[in-house]
Structures are given as structure tokens and as C-alpha cells.
Amino acid sequence: MEKQVKEKNELWEWTKALLIAFAIAAIIRYFLFTPIAVDGESMMPTLENGDRMIVNKIGYKIGEPKRFDIVVFHAPEQKNYIKRVIGLPGETLEYKNDQLYINGEPIDEPYLDAYKSKITEGTLTEDFTLKDIDVSINDVIPEGYIFVMGDNRRYSKDSRHIGLVDQKEIIGNTSLIFWPFSDIKIVK
């Protein structure tokens, strides 16, 4: 009889431990961090199709996006996109001769250097201003919005096509590739 009671207690203890572990895992995934798979080539060469990354969901709850952060957000097509923050609220933005200008000042994009060196004709990023993207913007990114682009500028569906991203739609930022195992790294 005592053995049966002991077995029942042990079973109950294991059940409680598993329930607590599942609850903690669910809380971490829902509120703090979640995995995401890169789908497509819009962020090449920085990110490859199939890379698996960890999304930090709490960073923007206590802070703001920064230029060149890689963010994951809900896109209009009911999908999650992964892109790089290029323009921030209150800024003007323009590309001319493959050069980014923020508020009229040239800004270097070192993460594009390797890609630009492989282009034999034309530019990686075509010329445009915010007004070319959306005439209602009036050349300044409004408060609460960001301008995002993929690193593979010729083949990226980004703010040039879908418009500005409402910061409320941002799931989080990411910089850690955890799969494939041979490619584990922090990207900038």
C-alpha cells in the first residue's frame, strides 16, 4: 500500500514538473523570444533563405528601433517580413547614385559593400525619395513609423512597395542565427 502511494506521489511530482516546464516555455516564447525562419532572398547576403533566427520580442517594448536593426514585423499580406530599418520617424530619406541620404547627409551602409562589389552594371538601389514612394508622406517619416528595406535591394519587397511600417506591427528585432549549425553567428 505504501509503495502505491509513493508511486502516485512520484507520478504527480513528474506531472507538475512537466506542466511547469511547458508553462515557462510558453511564456518565454510568447512574451520574450521566438524563433523565425528566413523565407526568401530579400536579405541576402546578410541572411540566407532557410536561416533560423531568434526574435527578441521585448527590446522594443522598452526601447525604440535603431537605424540598421534587423526587424521582424507583420506585413500587409498576412505574413511576417524580416527587413533592415533604414529610416526613422522625423527623418527625410533619399537614394541617389546608390548612396543613402538621411536628412541630406550621406550615410554609409557597410553591410552592402560585399554585394555592391558583385554588381557589374547599374546600381544595387535605384534612386528614389520618400515622396516617390507615397505622395502623402511629404518627405518626412511620420512619428510611429519606420522605413525598411531588404539588403538584396533589387529583389526585396519592402517599404518601397508596401509603404512605411507602423511600429505597432513590429514583433521584435533579431541578430542571432542559430541554424544551420555551421552558420551560427550574430549578424550586424
Alpha helices in the chain (DSSP H): 2-27, 59-62, 113-116, 130-133, 159-162
Give the whole-angstrom CA distance, residue 184 versus residue 182: 6
Given 57, 83, 156, 159, the catalytic residue: 83
Catalytic residue among 42, 57, 156, 159: 42
83 is catalytic: yes
Q: What distance in Å separates the CA atoms of residue 46 and residue 143, rounded to the nearest whole number?
A: 28
Beta strands in 75-114 (DSSP E): 80-87, 93-96, 99-102, 105-107
> Nine-digit cell at 16?
507538475
Whether residue 42 lies in the annotated active site = yes
Give catalytic residue positions: 42, 83
